[in-house]
């Protein structure tokens, strides 16, 4: 594990875990390799100036009507009652998809980590297949004053990505990961108004290890700043202890192409609307393609062909 054990002065006391430092990088100068290096140790990195302020404002303008329509969850559920959400964003905000989901640094990280390649024998011929990453969730949160802290959790639980054993950074491989999250601040995010907190290095923990709030790092961001994180890291929304500040957070997660998407992209949108908004490459990123080999076809064709009349020659789906 990247966390280290520090003995206390009392020999009988339980050793304490110490979290690694979280890299803070700038989108204009960093590289995919530098981000991956930081994530290997910490599990997440802050990306300053990830998108421009005019794009931040455009996304807010696109989704604000949908946030206004959302209702509070009843009781003390997974989201505090002061939270409002907008989902299914591909058909609601093209700017969100183009500037955030398709962000070159985020997609570079996703392609490196979540692309899966296999070789399989079909008789005496060996086929080589590549399963590309796909969008897992698209959601924007508005968290109002008085919201309680969310409980720390790992998002890879949705894909039953357990059991995981405790490892060191040197032992970490990309195949351990089921997803990658990307968060961008729509408004200033501080510890006081509920900034996302996560436990650095927890992607290296055993799945049997519970979270420890004392190890939490608060991803405080200015509008347009981003935070990229493995879904195997413990994280949560924090309490908004202010009286007059909204925390506006843009979020997306990506997952492997052969795993079920957390958000059902096929029922969330009118396919005709998506066809008018996006090219084939983007539609495949949203999940409207085949994960090679042969996963997700309709009438032995890619959904792109069936739904959008994309003309392609009939062929094996390796």
17 within domain boundaries: no
2 within domain boundaries: no
Residue 289 has pLDDT above 90, yes or no: yes
pTM (two decimals) = 0.92
Mean pLDDT value across the chain: 93
117 within domain boundaries: yes
245 within domain boundaries: yes
Please write the tens of the pLDDT for every residue from 199-220.
Answer: 999 999 999 999 999 999 999 9
- Alpha helices, H only, the chain: 32-42, 53-69, 94-95, 104-114, 265-268, 271-277, 280-285, 303-308
- Alpha helices, H only, 100-194: 104-114
The total number of structural domains that make up the chain: 1
Residue 12 has pLDDT above 50, yes or no: no
What's the rounded Cα separation, in Å, for the pair 5 and 17? 5
Mean per-residue pLDDT, 248-253: 99
- Residue of 229, 194, 221, 248 whose CA lies nearest to 50: 221
Mean per-residue pLDDT, 112-135: 97
So what's the pLDDT on residue 153? Answer: 98
- Residue of 184, 279, 167 whose CA lies nearest to 232: 167
Torsion of CA 178, 228, 262, 212, to 10 degrees: 80
So what's the pLDDT on residue 8? Answer: 38
Lowest mean pLDDT among 23-37, 66-80, 106-120: 66-80
So what's the pLDDT on residue 5? Answer: 40
Residue 106 has pLDDT above 60, yes or no: yes
More confident residue, 270 or 307: 270
**Adjacent-strand bridge partners of 285:** none
149 within domain boundaries: yes
317 within domain boundaries: no
7 within domain boundaries: no
12 within domain boundaries: no
Residue 283: which domain range?
Answer: 24-303
- Residue of 287, 35, 52 whose CA lies nearest to 307: 287
């Amino acid at each position: 594990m990247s966390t280290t054990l520090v003995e206390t002065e009392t020999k009988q006391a339980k050793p304490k875990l110490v979290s690694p430092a979280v890299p803070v990088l700038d989108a204009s100068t960093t590289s995919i390799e530098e981000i991956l290096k930081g994530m290997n140790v910490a599990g997440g990195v802050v990306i300053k100036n990830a998108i421009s302020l005019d794009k931040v404002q455009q996304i807010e303008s696109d989704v604000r009507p949908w946030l206004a329509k959302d209702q509070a969850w009843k009781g003390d559920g997974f989201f505090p009652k002061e939270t409002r959400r907008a989902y299914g964003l591909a058909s609601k905000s093209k700017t969100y998809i183009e500037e955030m989901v398709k962000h070159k640094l985020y997609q570079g990280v996703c392609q490196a980590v979540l692309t899966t390649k296999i070789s399989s024998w079909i008789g005496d011929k060996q086929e080589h297949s590549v399963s590309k990453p796909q969008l897992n969730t698209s959601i924007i949160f508005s968290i109002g004053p008085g919201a309680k802290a969310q409980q720390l959790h790992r998002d890879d639980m949705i894909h039953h990505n357990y059991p995981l054993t405790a490892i060191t950074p040197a032992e970490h491989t990309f195949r351990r990961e089921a997803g990658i999250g990307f968060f961008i601040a729509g408004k200033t995010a501080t510890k006081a108004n509920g900034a996302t907190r996560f436990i650095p290095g927890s992607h290296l923990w055993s799945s049997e290890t519970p979270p420890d709030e004392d190890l939490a790092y608060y991803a405080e961001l200015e509008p347009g700043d981003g935070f990229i994180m493995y879904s195997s890291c413990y994280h949560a929304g924090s309490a908004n202890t202010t009286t007059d500040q909204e925390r506006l957070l843009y979020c997306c997660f990506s997952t492997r192409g052969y795993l079920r998407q957390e958000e059902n992209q096929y029922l969330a949108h009118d396919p005709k609307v998506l066809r008018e908004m996006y090219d084939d490459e983007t539609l495949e990123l949203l999940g409207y393609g085949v994960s090679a080999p042969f996963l997700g076809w309709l009438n032995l064709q890619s959904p792109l062909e069936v739904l959008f009349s994309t003309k392609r020659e009939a062929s094996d789906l390796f």
